Amino acid sequence: MRRAFRQQSSVPLFVSLLLSGALAAGCSVQAQEERPVFDTIPQPPDVQLGPLFTAVQAANLYPDQKTFADAVPKSDPELILSDWQMQKMQRNFDLKRFVATNFSMPATGDVYTSPKGQSLRAHINGLWPVLTRSDKVDNQWGSLLPLPNPYVVPGGRFREVYYWDSYFTMLGLAESGRWERVQDMVDNFAYQLDTYGHIPNGNRSYYLSRSQPPFFSMMVDLLAQHGGDKIYGQYRPQLEKEYRYWMTGVDDEALRPGSATQRVVKLRDGTILNRYWDDRDVPRTESWREDTITARQAAGPDRAQLYRDLRAGAASGWDFSSRWFDKPDDLSTIRTTQILPADLNALMFHLEKTLARAYKTENNAAASQRFEQLAERRKTAIGHYLWDEKQGWYADYDWQRSHVRPQLTAAALFPLYLQAATGERATRTASAVKKHLLAEGGLLTTTVTSGQQWDAPNGWAPLQWVAVVGLNHYGQEPLAKEIGLRFLNSVQTTYEKDHKLVEKYVVKGVSLTHGGEYPLQDGFGWTNAVTLKLMDLYCPKGTICNNVGDLNSKKEP
């Protein structure tokens, strides 16, 4: 059942990194009196159903553990739990029949069949309404968190909105002229910030304990392209709430140099950077069985830390990748919370820059300057800690062992994408990317083939877009175009063969496997969006390219 609880924030005043000056300069402190207070926030199913949830997931009744996490109780969960505790003692008790009687299973994914001969562009435009959801009824016992406006889901098993996916989906909606839906989705995320104090991983109760890569400031940027600079002031309160969430605990006295609290790490010299985190340290609700199996395989005794790191890996969006592991082929060696990611901190730099811009539009020069200073401090920290001078690329930093991690990943391009890189380092990073990550089908996620989905040989649409935009920012247009066109060819080839766009692509070699905890999903929101953006970016001016082949067949007038 939905139990009332009150969220307490641990953030005193604002952020102490220059905070006393920022507050004096006029930064809003109204959120000090506006802590999110909820009366009907649902518990996640594993808490709500307790031992019944564990029994169902351990029995592996469904091929996908997310199925039962998304199931809706037909009556009060406390009554269902009580009935189960009595009935399970009976000789002929059938758990699967009990679940079918007491829960409504989630609907299977929407099926969209392209008319014969339909172009890639037409297929994508036809999918937007298919992937759109609207929460008309709030079921008081289900895990879905209703949102006030319609939204676009990724597709397949992903029946809810996801935070970082949505930014890339919005790019496609905007490219299609669907600005009303972009507005709806930005407002939904603003609603979540106002309601929960942060944007959860997705709009499910079991996602409330974590967020995802903080793209809200990028969403505001996108909407401002259509609505003008007034958009920054309109969403400035929510931008502040996003910032407070990620910086929670930064001014706690207990945060000593060389320590961390939640999403904040204070390095030994006092530098502040961010990490991924989840407030819970138990198996993921939606992947309960997989996590318990991983825990049994782990060498160390600290299962709570392992579960936290698995959850933090999910918060990163890269679930999972050798990027987070001590041993590239061993998921049980995951150490996400001990790593300061290059992509996350580049996004935090952008959030600080966006807050500076928002205050500037409100003619609050002093507050704007303070956030500019925070952004410059972070840019300096990125250059110092998240750069591998020996190898010549941006990289993650192991803050507990005090060294940069040696692996090259597509996350190296985020400082270019968010313009936190220097020109010289952007050039060196581009050279490394061309040498190690450029494959025949686009940009590899990493150089490691581990069996995890965020590793080689896979390429993901959002990372292709990050690469193209980031490289273009620093005069690396030929490499950017090569990546973009190679990925488009991968998309077109798969579309012509299977008549669908998918979550991720094998961009190196020929393989029937994509890795990961679940089968390959189609739909697919961010792939549709990035494909549209790349087609329009490289289509000859004055023409409309309906398929990738049109990029070469139509000449610029």
The catalytic site residues sit at 319, 503
For the record, the structure tokens of 425 come out as: 């380092």
CA–CA distances in Å: residue 249 to residues 229, 240, 259? 31, 15, 11
The answer on whether 164 is annotated among ligand-binding residues is yes
The angle formed by the CA atoms of residues 158, 161 and 166, to the nearest 5 degrees, is 110
Burial 202-236 (b: 16+ CB within 10 A, else e): bbbbbbbbbbbbbbbbbbbbbbbeebeeebbbbbb
Do residues 277 and 315 lie in contact, with contact meaning Cβ atoms separated by under 8 Å?
Answer: yes
The answer on whether 210 is annotated among ligand-binding residues is yes
Pairing, β 397-398 against β 403-404:
antiparallel
The answer on whether 424 is annotated among ligand-binding residues is no
For the record, the structure tokens of 170 come out as: 């919005």
Do residues 527 and 514 lie in contact, with contact meaning Cβ atoms separated by under 8 Å?
Answer: no
For the record, the structure tokens of 36 come out as: 């999110």
The answer on whether 157 is annotated among ligand-binding residues is yes
Q: Which residues pair with 488 in a beta bridge?
A: none
DSSP category for residue 2:
B
CA–CA distances in Å: residue 192 to residues 216, 422, 453? 11, 35, 29
Residues in contact with 349: Cβ distance below 8 Å, sequence separation at least 6, in sequence order: 375, 378, 379, 382, 418, 420
Please choose, from the candidates 493, 514, 517, 518, the residue with its C-alpha nearest in 3D space to the C-alpha of residue 505: 514
The answer on whether 188 is annotated among ligand-binding residues is no
The answer on whether 134 is annotated among ligand-binding residues is no
How far the first Cα of the chain sits from its last, in Å, is: 64
Annotated binding residues, as ranges? 157, 164-165, 201, 210-212, 317, 517
Annotated binding residues for substrate, as ranges? 157, 164-165, 201, 210-212, 317, 517
